[in-house]
Structure 1
Amino acid sequence: MTDLSQLEAELSARIDAAADTGALEAVRVAALGKSGQVSELLKSLGGLSPEARREQGPLINGLRDRITTRIAGRKATLEAVELDAQLAAGRLDLSLPPRPRRKGAVHPTMQVMDEMVAIFAEMGFAVAEGPDIEDDFHNFTALNFPPKHPAREMHDTFFLQAGAEGERKVLRTHTSPVQVRVMQKTNQKPAAPWIATGQDPPIRVIVPGRTYRSDSDATHTPMFHQVEGLVIDRAIHMGHLRWTLDAFIARYFETSAVETRFRPHHFPFTEPSAEMDVRCDRSGSEIRIGQGSDWMEIVGCGMVHPNVLRNCGLDPDEWQGFAFGFGVDRLGALKYGMPDLRDMFAADTRWLAHYGFSPFAMPNPATGLS
C-alpha cells in the first residue's frame, strides 16, 4: 500500500504552492479526480481482504477529507487575492461624467397643439373631440359638400371598404365633423371635464385632432393635424372672426406687430369664405412674422353657411357664427424652422432630438407651456 503520510505531505505541499485557482484546480483533479491518486486508493479497497479493508478504509477516507478541506481553504484564499487584483485593476474614476442617457422629448406637433389649446382656452374656447373614422353625413353632407365635389373622390380621400349596408366610411378629411356633432346636441357624456360635447348655443369650441387626405409633398402629408374653431351665437360677424384670429396669431408668434388681410375664397361650409394672410419677411433663411413686405396664407375661415346650421338643427335666422381651421404641423414648421413636414412623421430620433421639446423645460411666458 502507498504510504499515506508521505502522499498527504506531497499533496499538501502542492496545494500550498498553487499560485492561482487554475493551478489549484489541477492539483484537485490529480488528487481527487476520477483517476486521481486518492480516488485510485479508494478504488483499490475492493481488492483487499475484509480485515485490510476495515483497517485501510478509514485511513484513506480520512486522507480524502483532509485534502478536500485543505483545497477549499486554499481556494478561498486565492479567490480573495484574485478579487482584490480585479478591483484594483478595474477601479472606477468617479470624476468622469456618466455615459449620456437617451431622453424622450415632446414632439413638435404635440407642443404646438398644446400651445394653441392654451391660447384659445384663455379666450374662452372649450375643447371638442370626435372619431377619426366618419360617415358621409358628418364629413360631407352636413357640411354642404355637393354630391360631385372632388373631396368625395378616391383621389382625394381615404375610403374604407363598404359595410354590410353598403356605406363607405372615410378617414375624416378635416375636424369639422366634430363641429357638426357639437351643434347636433348629441348629449353624450364627456370623456373629461374640459371636453365639450353636444350643446345648445352659444357655442365656442376648438377641435384639435388628426386628419387624412391623399396628398404628400414637402408641405403636405397623408396624415396631418388641425385645430379648427367654431363660434355660434347671435349677432356674430366677420369682425369677431378677424379679432379672434389676429389675437391668436400675435400670441402664438409672440409678436404684437401682426398685420393680416382677408382674401375671398370658397369653402362649401362657410359663406362668405376667406383665407387670411399674414405679413412676413422671406428675405433670409427664416420667415419672420410681422416684418417685411411679403404675405403668406395662414388660415382658412368664414361665416358658417346657413345650410350647415340647418343640417345641424339650428335656425340660421336666429343663430350665426364663424369657423376657422389651422394646420398644426404647418404652424410648427413656421415657428420653429422645420423645412419639410414629412420629417415630422419619419420616426427619426435624431430629428426629434433636434426639434423636440423637453417636458421639464421652463414655461413659455407667451403661452404658459414649456
Structure 2
Amino acid sequence: MRPRGVWCELPMRNKLFPNNFTALINRMDEGVLVLDEERTVILANRAAGKILGSKALHAARACIDTLLAETNRPFCAFLEEVAGSGADYTNHEITYRRRNREARLLVSAFTRTETAPARGRRVYVLLRDITRLWRLHTKEKQLMAQVRKNYTIQMENLRQIAESVAHEVRNPIVSIGGYANLLLRKIEADSTPTEEHRKYLTYIKEDAERLLALVGKVERYTDTREMHFRKENVLRVLRESISFAKRLGARTGVRVEAPTVEPGEYLIYVDMTLLKTAFKSLVRQAVVLSNGDDTVSIHLHVNTLEIIFSIDIATKLIKENIPFLFNPFYSASGQRLNFDLANAQRVIMLHGGMIRADWGGEGRLTLRLSMPREKRLLRP
C-alpha cells in the first residue's frame, strides 16, 4: 500500500527508487526523467508527463522515442546524444511540440554509471517549462521593435521638418550675424564709438550665434543616417564612462562613487563613437542635475542578457519636471539649453535599449540605462 499523498508511477514497480523519493519529486514543478542507456523510461514524475504532454510516459519499460510524437524527434535526438556522449548540459533550451502547439523547455541533463542495485548508464533529465516566459520575452521583443520603428519614423518626420526650418532660418541668421560683425568693426574703427550701439550689436551677434547653434543641434539630433554598427567590446565604453565621471566629479567638486569594471569582453554590434558620447552625456547631466552636496552613485550590472547602467543622485529638481528631462528643448538647473539627454536617449534607443528617469521621492533621482544584448548580437 502506497503512502498517503504519493502519486506512484510505473517506475515505482521497479525497486530502483524508494517511495519516499518518488513522493518528493512528484511535488516538484520541474519534470524529472531517468532513462537507461537504451533511453527506456525508468522514472518519470508527474510534472514530466504534464510538461511533455504524454500520459503514456509512465508505461512499463517503454523507450521514450516511442512515447513522443514524431514532431519531437529533435528532443529525442538530444537525449540520444546525451546518452551516447556522456556530456553534461545545463539550461539547454529546446523547442517542443505539445498538442500541436509550440513550447519551450529548459533542459538540464547528465549521465552517471550505476553499480547498484542495477548496473548500467543512467541519463538524468530535469525539465522546466519556460513557454510563458518565452512568449512574454518574444512579445517584449516585438514591442521593442515596434517602439524602435515608431521612434525612427518620428525622428525621420522631425528631421524633414528640421531641414525645412533650417533652410529657411539659417540664411537670415548668418546674414544678421555678418552685418552685426560688420557694424562692430566699423564702430571700433570710428574715433568716437557709441557704447550703446556696441552693446546692442553684441546682443544681436550672440542671439544669432545661439540660434545657429540650435539649428545645428536639431539637425544632428534628427540625423539617424550617421550610425555605423560594428562588433565591439562594450566594456570599454563602461570603463571610460566611469573614468570620465570620476574626472568630472574631481573637477566640479562632486563626490562620485562607481564600481570597477573588470577586464573581459562583452561583444555587441554598436556604433562605438556615438555610444561613448551617449554614456558620457548621461554622466555629465547626472552631475549637472545633482545638488552638489550628496554623492553621485553609479551602479553597473552586466549579465548575458543585458547591461544596466544607473546613476543615483540627489537633485533640486521637482517631481513635475522629471517627465521632461529627455525633451530636446528642456533646460534644467539654470543650465543653457542642450541636447545631451535627448541625444543620449536617441542613440540608446537606436541600439535597442532605453533610458528612463525614476523619481525616488525626497529629491532622489535615478537615471537608468538598459541595453539588451540579444537585440544587438544578431544584427549583421
Bigger RCO (CA 8 Å, 6+ sep): 1
Compute the TM-score of the two structures, normalised by the length of structure 1.
Answer: 0.21
Compute the TM-score of the two structures, normalised by the length of structure 2.
Answer: 0.20
| Larger gyration radius, structure 1 or structure 2 | 1
Q: Which has the higher helix share?
A: 2
